[in-house]
Amino acid sequence: MPSPLTLAIIGTGLVGSKLISQIASLSSWNSKFKVVYIASSSRSIFAPQGIDLSSWKERLLAGPVVVVDNTSSDDVASLYPHFLSRNFSVVTPNKKAYSSSLELYNQILAASAKTGAKIFNESTVGAGLPIISTLKDLVQTGDKVTKIEGVLSGTLSYLFNEYSPATSLSPPKSFSSVVRIAKEQGYTEPHPADDLSGFDVARKLTILSRLIPELTNALPKGYESVSITSLIPDALKSTVWSISGDEFIKKLRDFDGEFEELRTKAAEKGEVLRYVGVIDVREKTIKAALEPYPATHPFATSLSGSDNIIAFHTERYGPRPLIVQGAGAGADVTAMGVLADLFKI
């Protein structure tokens, strides 16, 4: 007996529904056909073992469809308006869609508003930390955000916790050696310049600023419109992407003196260095920069390893900011943030 013909049926309107009914009415239809995929314009069923045609309509309407984008792809991010327009909700840790052009961001919002499909991206900023949801709650309940500042990169948090600690009993380390150790321990991207560029922090600032009514349209080019202080020495910027990560670290040694000067100047004032993201709503400034902080500041004393910390200054939280802190990177906590968003849907 020949094997059943495997069918993928796209379209469940008048003709499609009739076709499925006719297949199901055949005697011993499942010895002739194995229907593994049925799709309408907004939903689909996929079952490699075969779909029970007596209940396909119920299964097709059983629940919302969610696209979970776990990539860092610009190409996939550009499809979000298309997904949402088909009533597919989107959950993602991919920063690209929310931190690129304002045009794409507005297309995403418009498609979501038109169909009611949901968009959740908690893990784009702090992995599993409740950063985006906290900001949304503040704004939606009528609080006025005046300033947001934080250490938003787990990699840069680790680098400066090691390079410029609040207290240290051991001899100071050179900046290039800290970068080398961080790479060896898996804290950096394969090419550390990806982290030192500041682009990751700029993307996170873009995502947050667009949730603040006064700043929604402030960054037309997304993260490219953010004021970014790169930690890549100027003399290396023209060649940095043509050399390997290990070669970059070797060349970085030549600039240890420049970083040491910054660290010494801060230490003389009782300060440490931290790479922070700052959103000043009143001044309408959004920047990613290396800044000095008092050695008693929470950004100096509360962080360890690759922790993130973010402070929300608002009218309600005026005297003492609302602080969210914890592991802001890693597969486990990022996956938890995605899963939590799925539960919201």
Closest CA to 193 of 222, 231, 223, 235: 231
In contact, 36 and 7? CB cutoff 8 Å: yes
Assess whether 204 carries a catalytic annotation. Answer: yes
- What are phi and psi for residue 209, nearest 5 degrees? -65, -30
- Give the span between the Cα atoms of 32 and 2, in whole angstroms: 8
Q: What is the pLDDT along the chain (345 residues), one digit of tens a residue?
A: 678 889 999 999 999 999 999 988 888 887 888 899 998 887 888 999 999 998 999 888 877 788 999 998 999 999 999 999 988 899 999 999 999 999 999 999 999 999 999 999 999 999 999 999 999 999 999 999 999 999 999 999 999 999 999 887 678 899 999 999 999 988 888 899 999 999 999 999 999 999 999 999 999 999 999 999 999 999 999 999 999 999 999 999 999 999 999 999 999 999 999 999 999 999 999 999 999 999 999 999 988 888 999 999 999 998 899 999 998 888 889 999 999 999 998
Instruction: Supply the DSSP symbol for 229.
Output: -
What confidence score (pLDDT) does residue 95 get? 96
What confidence score (pLDDT) does residue 169 get? 66
Instruction: Supply the DSSP symbol for 318.
Output: -
Per-residue burial over 292-313, b if 16 or more Cβ lie within 10 Å, else e, is: bbebeeebbeebeebbbbbbbb
Residue 91 identity: V
What confidence score (pLDDT) does residue 60 get? 86
What confidence score (pLDDT) does residue 319 get? 84
In contact, 298 and 150? CB cutoff 8 Å: no
> What does each C-alpha distance from 157 to 83, 149, 192, 267 come to in angstroms?
35, 14, 14, 18
Domain 132-328 in this protein, CATH class: alpha beta
- Give the span between the Cα atoms of 198 and 246, in whole angstroms: 19
Residue 138 identity: L
pTM: 0.85
Q: Which is the catalytic residue, given 96, 183, 204, 287?
A: 204
In contact, 291 and 276? CB cutoff 8 Å: yes
